[in-house]
Structure 1
Amino acid sequence: MLSRKLFATLFLLFLGIPVCYATETAAGEPAATEEQEEESDFSFQAMVGVSVAYDSSLLKGVHQQDADDYLNLAFLVDVYYRGFFIQSNHRRANGLWDGTSHGGEFGYQIEANEEWELDIILKNYLGGIEPGELIDKKEKNIPTLEGLENRLPGHGVAIRYSRFIDDQMYSLDLARLSMEGEESGWLLEGFYSYFIPYRNWDIYYGGALTYYSSSIVDYFYGIDQHEVSPARDLYQAGGGFRAQFEIVAQYPLSKSWSFNGTITQSFYSDSFTDSPLVDHIYTTQIMLGVLYVF
């Protein structure tokens, strides 16, 4: 099991990336009209992507089996208007291929300059678990999931602080998640990304460390008294960590098409891995595909 001291050590990072902003009007040039200023306040970009993926699951007995399990279709939209935005995080693997759920972010830019940014974010931080659908899809019984109640996705509202230094970016999310009914919890997530251009490649090396409160871990991976079975012991989870290391690589094929590849390795603390539902201490995700920009 990975100790909490290891996760705490990994969390002590402070980093950032430069962002381009509009410069002041050059001397002698006419001032921008109100209409031009409004147009500059709005931007829109839509993308469609298809990829082949290897995506291991933390859940015991859940594995990729059919061709559909390996194919992923994503629709991503980036919209900005006067501080409000809908965006996919192109520096992160899940943001690149999962723009409509885990990677998609809706928010408002409170403050932004060349050195730091402060946003309020609404996004889905954790996917749900539907045991019945997983069993039906595999056409076989999974004892640890049989009769287990659904776990709804964890949506969260967060304050995000981002720090920019040269080709590095550091961000810190403090989020409150809402689950089923009155279930709620909080998480703290630090993310670091380092951009390296190589010929025509854009390569991002990243790492994240997330702490989930006990109510979140227990909701998704705990076992209540009425869910106990011969394959599932009673389990009440405490707070836990997830550490992630990832590489995102992008290569332009044409003006509209680009090749994209991602590798993500995730490690979980014992509050996750001690659950009767879990079979591993880590998961691996590899995705290769293309994106078309409209």
Structure 2
Amino acid sequence: MQTSRAILFFCLSLLATSTHASNRYYADNTLEPSQGFAWDWGIGAGYYIEDSYLVGIDSYNDGFEPDIHLALSYDHFYLDYDQSQLSGGLTIGYSIVDKFEWGLDLVGTNIQSGFDETGLAFYEEDVIEELAGIKSRNYDFDVGLRLSRRFDNSQISFEYLHDISGAHNGWVMNSFFSQIIPWRNWEFRSGIGLSAYSEDFTNYYFGITPSEANSNRPVYTPSTSYSLIFEFHAEYPINQNWVFLTGWLSTWFSDDIHQSPIVSQEYQHKAKVGLRYVF
């Protein structure tokens, strides 16, 4: 049991943003039913710059991170792990309906990164003064239905997901519209999404219980919340195998999130530039 939990935590710890959309949102995603077994993968690295929404954490953070993409499918089942999109992450799914450009899928994915008094990384040992005394918030794993409609170079999708990990036991609703514009050898991707979070979700991650409260951190009990996300990516094939990529991700939080005593601002931005090798 401990081994399986460690493996799950390792997979989820690779996810590095506050909320995750994953490549399933994009109009050219490959998450379709296949005849038999199919797979595709690539690997690379990128340099990123981001600011944190948690109090006490340096608002400017940068470094290198891996860029891994793995897509597996067998008949109606699929698994997709994608870090090439800034909002990317792990998705496991089953295609129920795929007809006339409409899709209905059963999907499972991580929505919210966990954090504790050391920040977003549980393996850090130094306690952040502004977060000292808070309880650990665990990664969640949410399962539900996703309805999508594809057009020529765009896609719109809607999701209703419920946490099955026992972290917050709440629901999340996502809507996302994406468009892909090719220009010469470039490919430009843009997307905008709106997510709503249940009271259980918001209170678990951003509420403050009486045992966590102090003179600078009052008890806080938020209600339902939402966030708005905008994402832009550009890719350019250098040769047959190497691809240059860059992107920008912005997230804005509603009052119930950014007024939390452990949240420093109502937005979060991240930019990235890197290279990926496609096999």
TM-score range, shorter chain: 0.7 to 0.9
Per the normalisation by structure 2, the TM-score is 0.82
Q: 1:85 aligns to what SS in structure 2?
A: strand
What are the superposed Cα offsets for residues 25-75 of structure 1, whole Å, 9 maximum, x if unpaired? Answer: xxxxxxxxxxxxxx9432111221211111211101212677xx5111133
CA-CA distance at 1:231 after TM superposition? 2.5
Q: Return closer, same or farther for 1:143/1:158 CA change in 2, 3 Å cut-off.
A: same
Q: Contact 2:114 / 2:120 at 8 angstroms: preserved in 1?
A: no
Q: Return closer, same or farther for 1:86/1:140 CA change in 2, 3 Å cut-off.
A: closer
Q: Contact 1:204 / 1:247 at 8 angstroms: preserved in 2?
A: yes
Instruction: Spell out the pairing of 1:71-220 with structure 2 (5 A cutoff).
Output: 71-88=64-81, 92-95=85-88, 103-132=89-118, 142-180=128-166, 183-220=168-205
Q: State the match for 1:30 in structure 2.
A: none
Q: Contact 1:191 / 1:208 at 8 angstroms: preserved in 2?
A: yes
Q: 1:166 aligns to what SS in structure 2?
A: coil
Q: 1:184 aligns to what SS in structure 2?
A: coil
What are the superposed Cα offsets for residues 159-178 of structure 1, whole Å, 9 maximum, x if unpaired? Answer: 00110122110011100014
Tell me how large the CA RMSD over aligned residues is. 2.8
Q: Contact 2:57 / 2:119 at 8 angstroms: preserved in 1?
A: no
Q: State the match for 1:6 in structure 2.
A: none
1:284 maps onto 2:269 in alignment: yes
- Higher normalized contact order (CA 8 Å, seq sep 6+, divided by chain length): 1
- In structure 2, how many angstroms separate the alpha carbons of the residues matched to 1:226 and 1:80? 46
Q: Contact 2:98 / 2:104 at 8 angstroms: preserved in 1?
A: yes
Q: Contact 1:16 / 1:171 at 8 angstroms: preserved in 2?
A: no
Q: 1:224 aligns to what SS in structure 2?
A: coil
- In structure 1, how many angstroms separate the alpha carbons of the residues matched to 2:141 and 2:116? 16
CA-CA distance at 1:205 after TM superposition? 1.1
- In structure 1, how many angstroms separate the alpha carbons of the residues matched to 2:269 and 2:96? 35
Among 49, 54, 68, which residue is 1:54 paired with? 49
CA-CA distance at 1:206 after TM superposition? 0.4
Q: 1:48 aligns to what SS in structure 2?
A: strand
Gaps in structure 1 of 5+ consecutive residues = 1-14, 23-38, 96-102
Percent same amino acid among aligned pairs?
26
Aligned residue-pair number: 254
Gaps in structure 2 of 5+ consecutive residues = 1-24
What are the superposed Cα offsets for residues 235-285 of structure 1, whole Å, 9 maximum, x if unpaired? Answer: 011110100111011111122211111101111000001100011111111
Paired letter, 1:58: Y
- In structure 2, how many angstroms separate the alpha carbons of the residues matched to 1:90 and 1:200? 22
1:242 maps onto 2:263 in alignment: no
Q: 1:94 aligns to what SS in structure 2?
A: coil
Q: State the match for 2:37 in structure 1.
A: 42
Q: State the match for 1:28 in structure 2.
A: none
Q: 2:200 aligns to what SS in structure 1?
A: helix
Q: 1:227 aligns to what SS in structure 2?
A: coil
Identify the structure with the greater helix proportion: 1
CA-CA distance at 1:113 after TM superposition? 2.6
Per the normalisation by structure 1, the TM-score is 0.78
- In structure 2, how many angstroms separate the alpha carbons of the residues matched to 1:60 and 1:196? 38
- In structure 2, how many angstroms separate the alpha carbons of the residues matched to 1:292 and 1:16? 20
Paired letter, 2:144: A
